[in-house]
Amino acid sequence: MTMLENVAKEQKPLIGKSMEDLEAFAQSLGQELFRGRQLFDWIYRKNVYNFSEMSDLPHSFREKLFGIPLHPLRMVNDHVSNSKQTQKFLFELESGEFIESVLMKDGKRVTVCLSTQVGCAVDCDFCATGKMGFIQNLTAGEIVDQFLQLQNIIKDKITNVVFMGMGEPFLNYENTMSAANLLHHPKGVNMGAWRITISTAGIIKKIKQFADDGHPFKLAVSLNGSNEKQRLITMPITKAQSFSELLEASQYYTFKSRKRVTFEYVLLAGVNDHRTDAEELKQILAPMNCKLNLIPYNEINGQYRRPTDTSINKFISSLNNAPFPVTVRWSKGQDIDAGCGQLATISDNHL
Ligand code: SAH
Ligand code: SF4
């Protein structure tokens, strides 16, 4: 093996590296710093993944780059839902584990739903990812590569990113934030911060850190219950992270960031979809700068059921006079298990 081949073999994939990382990388190959910035431009802004097409890099540099891996993920397959509006993609990680990402089209809006972990430790009773248990964190590169590979194969421009795929983003905080920063970087993908939403099951310390760090991205908190006792039934995390502290932390975020927080509320038949739940929500959320996003449950093979459309509509009308906006996410892609919380993968390692 030549020395060059050795360098290539030992290199971690370039996707996931920041501008500064790529500058240092270029320097390590005997190049000037700006060559790293050029690489950043090709990878994140131009979506070009072939070194021979990176025309403004000198031949001598390109030769050194050949063989260095770019993508940390391998796309395995994709499923298009019946409506053609939703597509689910399966990726393999270097570890041999698998993750899923979902692409959703709605008029001019094209949203990608990214995974941040393989499996999840939070163990919400209604969620397919939770049933897998926690397997591993994704690197920033593995998170960003989901976006880049999808953007590369579809014609439309991706307009929105939601961190609502597999895993709990705030239990992989550093990598998730590096990924979000890369997507937001003005010299790269340049996705507006208001088009990037991070959803958490409510890791209180991290909500506060997110607020203190001054991240510009949108925050969504999965409330899923109208009081402590009820939330505890479906979300055991409530034991360690109490309902009232979660509301306090969310409010802290709204004060610090001067932004609205979105509360997500999965509607589960007979569990949290009663009129009294709507009344409680109105009361507890009234003092907050917030929005409530109702998500009719997407069934997995478990004990929970989606309320009928009539009950869902009743619940919505009970919230008619709420002092905050209420929206409903009529999830797309349930026919291919690509709705919220329906993402789960199993690799040979765990069979
Ligand atoms: N771990 C993060 C983000 C991933 S889950 C979180 O929990 O917020 C994204 C959203 O999907 C959450 O609001 C979660 O409550 C919801 N969800 C999970 N399982 C679901 C299901 N089967 N049907 C509908 N929504 C679900
Ligand atoms: Fe994890 Fe979110 Fe699923 Fe809960 S809903 S198990 S936090 S992925």
Reported as a single tens digit per residue, the pLDDT across 142-188 is 999 999 999 999 989 999 999 999 999 999 999 999 999 999 999 99
Q: Return the pLDDT at 343.
A: 76
Please give the span between the terminal C-alpha atoms of the chain, in angstroms, as a whole number.
36
Reported as a single tens digit per residue, the pLDDT across 216-252 is 999 999 999 999 999 999 999 999 999 999 999 999 9
Sites in the chain below the pLDDT cut of 50: 348-351
- For a substitution probing ligand 2, which of 124, 125, 132 has the most ligand atoms within 8 Å of its CB? 124
Distance CA 202, CA 219 (A): 11
Tokens of 212: 């203190």
The dotted CATH code for 73-350 is 3.20.20.70
- 339 in contact with ligand 2, CB cutoff 6 A: no
Distance CA 315, CA 306 (A): 13
Three-class secondary structure assignment of the chain: CCHHHHHHHHCCCCCCCCHHHHHHHHHHCCCCHHHHHHHHHHHHHCCCCCHHHCCCCCHHHHHHHCCCCCCCCEEEEEEECCCCCEEEEEEECCCCCEEEEEEEEECCEEEEECCCEEECCCCCCCCHHHHHCEEEECCHHHHHHHHHHHHHHCCCCCCEEEECCCCCHHHCHHHHHHHHHHHHCCCCCCCCHHHEEEEECCCHHHHHHHHHHCCCCEEEEECCCCCHHHHHHHCHHHHCCCHHHHHHHHHHHHHHHCCCEEEEEEECCCCCCCHHHHHHHHHHHCCCCEEEEEEECCCCCCCCCCCCHHHHHHHHHHCCCCCCCEEECCCCCHHHCCCCCCCCCCCHHHC
Tokens of 331: 């999830």
Q: Return the pLDDT at 329.
A: 85
User: How do the domains of the chain map onto residue ranges?
Assistant: 3-65, 73-350
Domain 3-65 of CATH type 2.40.160.10: no
pTM above 0.85, yes or no: yes
Q: Return the pLDDT at 348.
A: 46
- For a substitution probing ligand 1, which of 222, 268, 291 has the most ligand atoms within 8 Å of its CB? 222
Ligand 1-lining residues (CB < 6 angstroms): 126-127, 164, 168, 199-201, 222, 224, 264, 266, 295, 297-298, 300, 339-342
Amino acid present at 84 = K
The closest residue, in CA terms, to atom 19 on ligand 1 is: 341
Distance CA 180, CA 98 (A): 21
CA of 61 to the centre of ligand 2 (A): 44
- For a substitution probing ligand 1, which of 117, 196, 266 has the most ligand atoms within 8 Å of its CB? 266
For the annotated catalytic residues, the residue numbers are 100, 340
Q: Which ligand 1 atom sits closest to the C-alpha of 298?
A: 23
CA of 207 to the centre of ligand 2 (A): 16
Other C-beta atoms within 10 Å of 187: how many? 11
CA distance readout (Å), 301 to 131, 135, 317, 332: 11, 21, 29, 18
Q: Return the pLDDT at 349.
A: 44
Q: Return the pLDDT at 173.
A: 98
The order of strands in the sheet holding 218-222 is: 74-80, 86-92, 98-106, 109-113, 160-163, 196-200, 218-222, 261-267, 290-296, 326-328
Q: Return the pLDDT at 133.
A: 96
